Amino acid sequence: MKKDLIVVGPIQLGIPPFKPNKIIAGGEDVFFLSTVATNPLLINGNLPSAMTLMAGRPYRLRLETMNLTNVAPGPFISIPRTFPVGIPAQTFLLGIKLPTPQEGRPELFEIKARPTHQLQTSIHL
């Protein structure tokens, strides 16, 4: 099933106008505004929509980081959720704190957000 994810960030709160930044100081809080959406329109005009098909099914919203300087996984967030019935989108404010690097040694992190569905399947013989 197709689901869409829109993420704005990284955002650091503090001095207005709160614009998304690309350089974040180590040890400071970083936020991402994310929306997970399913299409509410009928498929081919007469089949159930993705919103209807996904309603009530569990999924997990993950925010993963990778330390590209040391080639090591960084901190991550994993939030279990359920697609709501009759609501095409859910919005979240995700916060994460990146580790403080050693003095004079900046580190580069890649941050990836993704929803993963957890469809349960059964096999009938």
Q: What are the pLDDT digits (tens) for 42-72?
A: 888 888 888 888 888 888 888 888 888 888 8
Cα radius of gyration rounded to whole Å, the chain: 18
Beta strands in the chain (DSSP E): 4-11, 29-37, 58-67, 72-82, 89-97, 109-117
Instruction: Provide the token pair at 89.
Output: 């989108």
CA distance 113 to 23: 18
Query: Domains (ranges, CATH) in the chain?
Result: 4-117 (2.60.40)
Which pTM was predicted? 0.70
User: Nearest-CA neighbor of 90 among 31, 20, 38, 40?
Assistant: 38
